[in-house]
A and B are shown apart, each in its own frame.
Chain A
Amino acid sequence: MSGGNALSLQNGQSILSEKVSDVLRLAKELGASQAEATASFGSGFSVNVRMREVETLRHQRDQGLGITVWLGNRKGSASTSDLRIDAIHESVRKACALARYGAEDPASGLADAERLATTVPALDLHHRWDIDPAAAIELAMACEAGALDFDPRISNSEGASVSTSEGLRVYGNSHGFLGGYPESDHSISCSVVAAENGAMETDYEYAVVRDAADLPLPEAIGREAGRRTVARLGGIKLTTRVAPVLFPARVARGLIGHLLGAISGGALYRKSSYLVGALDTPVFASRVTIDEQPHLAKALASAPFDDEGVATSERRLVDAGVLRGYLLGSYYARKLGMTSTGNAGGAHNVVVHSTAGTFEDLLRTMDRGLVITDLMGSGVNPVTGDYSRGASGFWVENGQVQYPVTEITVAGNLKDMYRGIVGIGSDVDRRGGVLTGSILLEQMTISGS
């Protein structure tokens, strides 16, 4: 509640902008040399049905204000979910009081004024989904039915979910920046269980989009969940071997995700990345080119500016295998003697260029090897690049899937894995911040029986 005027997507931009401005004004009055504030508001609901009955209906609504002030190089932060004027003022006072106890840190402070976004490009990130819980339950039921009816071996269900949420975020700082924009996320997901000969397997399928008009049919999501789950039945353990490995697009996103951790400012500054000092050196096979494209319309990780108000822009991260950029916010950029790359808060749409055809084309190229459908555990060491994870998937001979495999591990080192990329498919998965097709690796060590 904000002084009797309930927040909504319609009035939110102006109400939250006013509150951010108020914070900045008061911080200045209290002697802060710099200040910033982020106000946010979100609402939505989700339904979960299981075995054709409603399991959960959950409504969600949240709001918050995060405040940071600097007294010289000393920083203090406070946050509140109460957006009434008294609570906001109390929070600003608390942040100022805390800053007095902060440590001097010359790298600390707002982003450099000249890096801030001067316009907020419209990226088509908000589309309200006019759906009520009854209609959402119907969609979830249809989705789960698509899976349950897919095959008689589908024996049980974790359920199907439909969720919708929308919100907005306004950021302002004492350099005079004030900007905000609304966003939405809508998703449908389904997870079922298949049983055969006393063994059970589970898998899932999902869609997540900015605009509900772009959602696939719920039945199709359910059928895909059913197909994936049944395909896992009867998995066997491989004998230990070295073989080519194909990461389908859904799993390949995580493979590229390890790069993002290794080139982020914090990891580089703390020297806890295997890519310290790797800028302008080859870290991938020369066929690999990766861009950051923050302004893709409707994309899930698009953003007109970063968490510090720094303008985002399209750039090349990896050019023909050579690492050309890090992911830096202002703080670690200063620590490293560099400038912000507009990545306070993370990367915005990391796009891996395709070099090959469809998933089936990559299977034929691989000829004989492992397709990974699922990875488990946290066996990736960002300091050394050592990679060793539990896996399941399919064994491939003559370019054709032969049988499911399970309870194995795949191991290698990210350095060798990235340099050993043989091909990147055109089957791009757009359901996250990394947009890539399937990735074929020359070889990994597979441990089994």
Chain B
Amino acid sequence: MHEAIGHGLEGDFNRKGTRSALPGASANEWPPNCTVVDDGTLVGRRGSLNVDDEGTPTRNTVLIENGVLRGYIQDRMNARLMGVESTGNGRRQSFAHLPIARANTYMLAGPHHPDEIIASVKKGIYARNFGGGQVDITSGKFVFSTTEAYRIENGKLTAPIKDATLVGDGPTVLNRVSMVGNDLALDTGIGVCGKEGQSVPVGVGQPTLRIDGLTVGGTADGSGGAE
């Protein structure tokens, strides 16, 4: 969520036009089952704040509603330059850094039970936990390392997979979201986002998603892609 979507909806990249054409330029380009919010007000969460580092109260900002792009997350400078309001996302690592837009992005739950999603996959990978990730905002290409993952064969979890890397591009992957789980889970409180040399704690969350195809890298046999 954070790499594939969150960064792409940050105001600065959109103001400069240096990010790839995410779906959302017009309606229906996002999967209609996707609703994405940025919420800095959730009680007790790692990335939550009462006010951001520019004094703007944080809020719950709807970014994508049932597949339709509604807005970006903003710090004050980029908001002014784009003629909109700050969404309370101006964050800085410390007094010695300039505030920039930072995300606490969550995808809301959908209708499917996670077991139903796993059962629907003939051959694939169930990625339960991710390690580090990175995105090239301009091309939309992103990678994640899995820290806990399993093969899915004929709808059942089988062998564990070690140190696999998933690579894809945001726009394509979003269009391949075919099922959204009813099990929205927020992060366990370890998220750190690095951008322009600044690290800040952030929150992220999503339900189980079925993505119909993403490149899986590794050295084991049969690692070249999932169906």
Contacts and interface: CB of A to CB of B under 8 A. Distances in A.
Interface of A: 50, 56, 58, 60, 62, 156-158, 193, 198-202, 232, 237, 239-240, 374, 376-379, 381, 384, 386, 388-390, 392, 406-413, 445, 447-449
Contacts of B167: 376-377, 390, 407-409, 447
Interface string B54-85: 00000000000000000000000000000000
Contacts of B96: 60, 62
A376 B136 contact: yes
A138 to B, nearest CB: 22
A193 B131 contact: no
B32 interface: no
- Among B215, B216, B217, chain A packs the most CB atoms within 10 A around the CB of B217
A349 B137 CA distance: 32
B164 interface: yes
22 contacts: A158-B16, A198-B21, A201-B139, A202-B137, A202-B138, A202-B139, A374-B136, A376-B167, A377-B133, A378-B145, A379-B131, A379-B165, A379-B217, A384-B163, A389-B143, A406-B141, A411-B217, A412-B219, A445-B218, A445-B219, A447-B216, A447-B217
Nearest to A386: B163
B144 interface: yes
Nearest to A388: B165
Contact of A447 (B138, B162, B224): B224
Please report whether the interface of chain A is mostly helix, strand, loop or mixed according to DSSP: strand
B16 A392 contact: no
Contacts of A156: 16-18
B168 interface: yes
Contacts of A407: 141, 167-169, 215
A232 B144 CA distance: 22
A390 B141 contact: yes
B143 A56 contact: no
A388 B217 contact: yes
Contacts of A445: 217-219, 223
Interface string B163-188: 11101110000000000000000000
B189 interface: no
B160 interface: no
B212 to A, nearest CB: 14
A335 B98 CA distance: 41
A301 B144 CA distance: 31
Contact of A411 (B136, B141, B218): B218
A410 B163 contact: no
A377 B219 contact: no
Interface in B205-226: 215-219, 223-225
Given A201-B138, A384-B163, A407-B168, A378 B223 contact: no
Contact of A406 (B133, B139, B223, B225): B139
A376 B16 contact: no
Identify the interface centre among B131, B143, B165, B218: most chain A CB within 10 Å of its CB.
B165
A230 to B, nearest CB: 13
Interface string B4-48: 000000000000111011000000000000000000000000000
Nearest to B17: A156
Contact of B215 (A193, A199, A378, A448): A448
A50 B16 contact: yes
Contacts of B218: 388, 409, 411, 445, 447
A240 B224 contact: yes
A390 B16 contact: no
B169 to A, nearest CB: 6
A268 to B, nearest CB: 21
Contacts of B131: 378-379
B139 A200 contact: yes
A411 B132 contact: no
A88 to B, nearest CB: 21
B134 interface: yes
B183 to A, nearest CB: 26
A202 B137 CA distance: 9
B133 A449 contact: no
Given A158-B16, A378-B131, A447-B223, A199 B216 contact: no
Nearest to A377: B143
A449 B3 CA distance: 21
